[in-house]
Structure 1
Amino acid sequence: MSSIFKGFLFYFLPNNTSTITRIRKNLALKHGASVVEDAIKASTCLLVDKKIYQTESQIVKLVDGIPGDKTDLSVLNQTWLVDSIANEKLLSTDGYKIDLQMETEPSPKKRKIQQPRKVTLDEILNAPVIPNNPNAETMSLLEQMAKEREIQGENRFKTKAYKTAIDTLSKTPQLIDSYEKAKVLPGIGESIALKIQEINDTSSIKVLDQLQHSERNRLLALFKGIYSVGDTFASKFIRDGMKTLEDISRREDLTTNQKWGLKFYKDWNERIPREEIEVHKEYVEGLMHGIDPEVELTVGGSYRRGQATSGDIDFIITKPGVNSFSVLKDIVQRLLDKMIETGYHECSLTTLSSKWLGGCRLPISESYMSKLPPKSINSSTGDPKCRRVDFLLIPYESKGAAFIYFTGNDDFNKRVRKIAMDRGMVLNQLGLFKKIYTEDSVSRDPELELVEGFDERKIFKILGVKWREPNERHIG
């Protein structure tokens, strides 16, 4: 029997004696894993049966109920275990991770007695960001704390608390230099208020200094910079005694995507200059024009928000009148074939479905090289750097919702989705949907009825949210 899960500690949810749980526990044991009966000891993976726990809010409550430090805990769908065994290798956890970043939602029964509250985005944001903010040093140190907590894989509520505090301080014109002043501000709790007092007294945060000088945190940050390496793999690498990227490269259990992540480690961990993204956009549009000139390509993410740099390049792909994923897939497959032919395609990180993720490099051509900033060219080889590029296939009727979803930023999107939730609706990349409850809706999910998907402005209007241009959505 294989040992593909050697070194993993699994805790199963539900942790009962049902046939399916017993079978999966035995499979895990036979393939090298250790199965624990105490969730506190599940320092590697918590495996959830999504057929039992179907909503993120249920899982959030379960995870938050686990006492102790959950720094290294990854929450995965049990199908990851099953699929890894079926493929006889450790699969990437991409696509199996359970997103616990969603706001918890009140139950249908509670929602019936709640009165809808008309909330605008302006109410949530409270005030504009203050230029030359006197709390800049405090915000900078709190931001570093948030980053260190994220590196640790910290409880989502802890990292969110820092971001909320930073958001509050960014709109506070007065200097907040004491515990007392901080504690009365909305969104700032006792722990962060004490850190603000510490910053005022020492211009530092002791625990931040310890984290930044921690060898474990240094290695976590280094290893999580590898594409497709999250908390689970990074922690496993550290337990196995890995110290460098070279150590990692010698491992025989790396996934294909992790090998690509190592090869392009430097390029994929750099921010991409806006000027370079414009050259990629010109190049891809040129290829697409020769395939189907009616296809519309829009670059989302940080680029659409007007930011100077982006982490990757997200192409939102639509075609007027086309709402079929199969038609869009055929178009994008021809685009991928052309990219391979021209050398723009470096690697595929997923198979083509409703999206494609990969690595791409512009050709060495005077017409393109002359438009690139120096930092976009490898100094050792003289060729353009490889960049992470995503193609997001969107039905034309969902264009507006997709523009909201794939423009971001994350904090803005979460707040707008929360407004939709407060109104008994769901907002995702395919549209704004109204929840339709039946008599037995308490025991099963509601049906969703499309309200609007095509018109981005109309979605804002239906939600009662003031229209914000993409460059006004960079908040938090």
Structure 2
Amino acid sequence: MSLNGRSFIFLPNPRTSSNKFLQDILKKKGATIVSSFEDRLQFNSKKVIILIDDSFVDSQMHLTQRDIFKREAGLNDIDDFLTKIEESNIQCLKISYITKWVESEKFTIEKDYLIKMRPSIITISDDTDDGQSYNDKDSEVSTDVEGKGNNGSKSEERLETPQTSVHSLKLDERTTSLVTNKTMYKNNELIITALKKLTKKCEIKGERFRARSYKLAKQSLENCDFDVRSGEEAHIKLKNIGPSIAKKIQVILDTGGLPGLNDSMGLEDKLKYFKNCYGIGPEIAKRWNLLNFESFYIAAKKNPEEFISDWSVLFGWSYYDDWVHKMSRNECFAHLKKVQNTLREIDPECKVELQGSYNRGYSKCGDIDLLFFKPFCNDTTELAKIMETLCVKLYKEGYIHCFLQLTPTLEKLFANKIVERFRTARIVGYGERKRWYSSEIIKKFFMGVKLPAKYLKKLEDMKNDEGTFLIEEEEETKLKQIDQYMSLNSSDGNYCRRLDFFCCKWDELGAGRIHYTGSKEFNRWIRILAAQKGFKLTQHGLFRNNTLLEGFDERKIFDLLNLDYVEPKYRNNIPWAGRTG
């Protein structure tokens, strides 16, 4: 297939990693990539094709989410842009259409696959403006938010600014009861089911903000003590239900469903299969889908450099079934005791606490987050060395089964296991990589662990801890048969678990506890609220004009923000958030 003389424009954002990957494919076939829509004037318009991200095209091939598209593409006027496309007779296709050309080795364009850029009279889309202008919705507040991605990398979170600020919190015990009787209100149950699907759909696609909007709306319905009769009623009486979601609620109540909601469930299932693997984020999952990879085996065979650049994916693949299987609170606590007992042998003064979903009272947890600190110690390098020594000892004891991040010391212990995984995966070329470790000193350790037999025995004798927040059970994805040759999953019920170590300065312990306890929604809310009041809240403390006001005392941070203290068990649902719709 030759694309000589053809020019392609990727919209709205040509700079994503998946788009750059696809651009390289087209370039190798002789195509020219046009950097912006205005630059198309340098080329024959009949030879120019616009490729649009699939998430902006609905099942009827209409362009959707026009405001978001306009903003991400850097357009001043969306209507002027569409007029120029029509005048130039430029054809528009979904980016995924590239796969069709690559597979058939033939460049063809079928009429049914052309995108209709002008909206139809009535369209139902999944965009969630919630009644805000997009300028308001995309306001950013620099709050130094750090998140832990699938590969353990540091990432910065963008924050949405609420339309109303909340000056005090009055929490009701009833809002976080362990069991909510959702079946009491049939309308609510129907709406919750649809919003849950929309949330999961957006999460799998990596559309964080849309997923969050649906999640907040779903939680409002879950805490609702009356049967919603209309979208307008939901908008008026409930938090986090804006006009866009209210319209969807009305459609759900009128028709029993939402048009197009299940159209792409096959695609979501495919993306979910890859995305549930440690180290595989939405971008890689979407790229593999575009290339028609159906399994890790095919991905390793056709795209081995992905595994060589991030070897931790091999262990996500190997422990796939174990790591999607949630664990009880009792098991989380048993892991804490194991780590504490070994830590005392290394440094009795160093302390470690459970954080994350366990601290928020979840009935079951996906992984274990442990926070390390030492009284009056503000040297994170010292804490990092303690954690590294602890990792070495726990690995030699057989508790740690794999590392997902290495120092030079850990590499000496573990490099042979990485090589063994590459050989089992039948991937070559890894020998060209000079080193496996990420840094001389790391302050976050990610690993897979298994409890010793004596701790498993103690689990049987422990009183069951159900926590205070019941999570909904979801159907677990399983490793496909074709990928089973890499499996290191448990066959005896003693699952390998994901365990993360973090460290915190003594003077920052209160802010650190807020950050590592979560939830993400709570952290986002309280940091935006702090910014609205002239503060800056990070995991390092509460600041005003770059001056630290408080970092050690968690409750004092709340006092300085003029907020009632929010117990961790109340940080799952959203009774603390003001209306955002």
Fold shared by both chains (TM-score > 0.5) = yes
Report the Cα distance in structure 2 between the residues aligned to 1:65 and 1:168, rounded to whole angstroms.
Answer: 34
- Of residues 239-248 and 138-147 in structure 1, the stretch that sits farther from structure 2 once superposed is 239-248
Residue 282 of structure 1: how far off its partner (Å): 1.0
Contact 2:176 2:570 in 1 (8 A): no
Contact 2:346 2:386 in 1 (8 A): yes
Residue 268 of structure 1: how far off its partner (Å): 1.3
1:355 aligns with 2:444: yes
Report the Cα distance in structure 1 between the residues aligned to 2:204 and 2:300, rounded to whole angstroms.
Answer: 21
Report the Cα distance in structure 2 between the residues aligned to 1:295 and 1:422, rounded to whole angstroms.
Answer: 37
* CA displacement 1:411-452 (0-9 Å, x = unmatched): 221111121111111112111111x2xxxxxxxxxxx21111
Candidates 285, 290, 294, aligned match of 1:234: 285
Contact 2:165 2:529 in 1 (8 A): no
| Mapping of residues 398-417 of structure 1, within 5 Å | 398-417=508-527
1:11 aligns with 2:21: no
| 2:397 aligned residue | 342
* CA displacement 1:325-372 (0-9 Å, x = unmatched): 111112111101101211112222224522111212223x2x212134
Unaligned runs of 5+ in 2: 1-9, 17-22, 38-49, 55-67, 79-91, 97-149, 407-440, 462-487, 575-581
Contact 1:122 1:466 in 2 (8 A): yes
| 1:95 aligned residue | 153
1:198 aligns with 2:256: no
| 1:223 aligned residue | 274
Candidates 559, 565, 570, aligned match of 1:461: 559
SS at match of 1:11: coil
Report the Cα distance in structure 2 between the residues aligned to 1:64 and 1:182, rounded to whole angstroms.
Answer: 33
Report the Cα distance in structure 1 between the residues aligned to 2:497 and 2:515, rounded to whole angstroms.
Answer: 22
Contact 2:321 2:489 in 1 (8 A): no
The 1:340/1:278 distance shift into structure 2, 3 A limit, reads same
1:189 aligns with 2:235: no
Q: What RMSD over aligned residues (CA atoms) do the two structures have, in Å?
A: 3.8
Contact 2:151 2:278 in 1 (8 A): no
2:557 is matched by which residue type in structure 1? Answer: I
* CA displacement 1:93-144 (0-9 Å, x = unmatched): 76375533x23599xxxxxxxxx97612449x9x946953532332232122
Candidates 346, 349, 352, aligned match of 1:291: 346
**TM-score, scaled to structure 2:** 0.60
Unaligned runs of 5+ in 1: 1-8, 14-24, 45-58, 73-91, 107-115, 437-447
| Mapping of residues 255-266 of structure 1, within 5 Å | 255-266=310-321
Report the Cα distance in structure 2 between the residues aligned to 1:69 and 1:432, rounded to whole angstroms.
Answer: 48
| Mapping of residues 77-226 of structure 1, within 5 Å | 95=153, 98-100=156-158, 102-103=159-160, 119-122=167-170, 128=175, 131-132=180-181, 134=185, 135-154=188-207, 156-185=208-237, 186-212=239-265, 215-226=266-277
| Mapping of residues 352-391 of structure 1, within 5 Å | 352-363=441-452, 365=453, 367-372=454-459, 381-382=491-492, 384-391=494-501
Higher relative contact order (CA 8 A, sep 6+): 2
Residue 468 of structure 1: how far off its partner (Å): 1.8
Report the Cα distance in structure 2 between the residues aligned to 1:469 and 1:389, rounded to whole angstroms.
Answer: 24
Report the Cα distance in structure 2 between the residues aligned to 1:319 and 1:380, rounded to whole angstroms.
Answer: 35
Report the Cα distance in structure 2 between the residues aligned to 1:70 and 1:295, rounded to whole angstroms.
Answer: 55
The 1:219/1:315 distance shift into structure 2, 3 A limit, reads same
Report the Cα distance in structure 2 between the residues aligned to 1:457 and 1:426, rounded to whole angstroms.
Answer: 16
Report the Cα distance in structure 2 between the residues aligned to 1:248 and 1:12, rounded to whole angstroms.
Answer: 23
| 1:449 aligned residue | 547
Contact 1:354 1:394 in 2 (8 A): no
The 1:455/1:252 distance shift into structure 2, 3 A limit, reads same
2:394 is matched by which residue type in structure 1? Answer: M
Report the Cα distance in structure 2 between the residues aligned to 1:105 and 1:472, rounded to whole angstroms.
Answer: 20
Residue 159 of structure 1: how far off its partner (Å): 2.0
The 1:257/1:120 distance shift into structure 2, 3 A limit, reads same
The 1:222/1:128 distance shift into structure 2, 3 A limit, reads same
Report the Cα distance in structure 1 between the residues aligned to 2:381 and 2:531, rounded to whole angstroms.
Answer: 31
Q: Which has the larger radius of gyration?
A: 2
* CA displacement 1:283-308 (0-9 Å, x = unmatched): 11111010011111101011111211
1:324 aligns with 2:379: yes
* CA displacement 1:244-303 (0-9 Å, x = unmatched): 243334442212011111011111112221111111111111110100111111010111
Candidates 27, 35, 38, aligned match of 1:37: 35
SS at match of 1:315: strand
* CA displacement 1:189-221 (0-9 Å, x = unmatched): 333223222332343333322232xx3221111
1:301 aligns with 2:356: yes
| 1:428 aligned residue | 538
2:215 is matched by which residue type in structure 1? Answer: K
The 1:35/1:105 distance shift into structure 2, 3 A limit, reads farther
What is the number of equivalent residue pairs in this alignment? 391
SS at match of 1:424: coil
| 1:280 aligned residue | 335
1:356 is matched by which residue type in structure 2? Answer: F
Report the Cα distance in structure 1 between the residues aligned to 2:69 and 2:551, rounded to whole angstroms.
Answer: 29
Contact 1:227 1:260 in 2 (8 A): yes
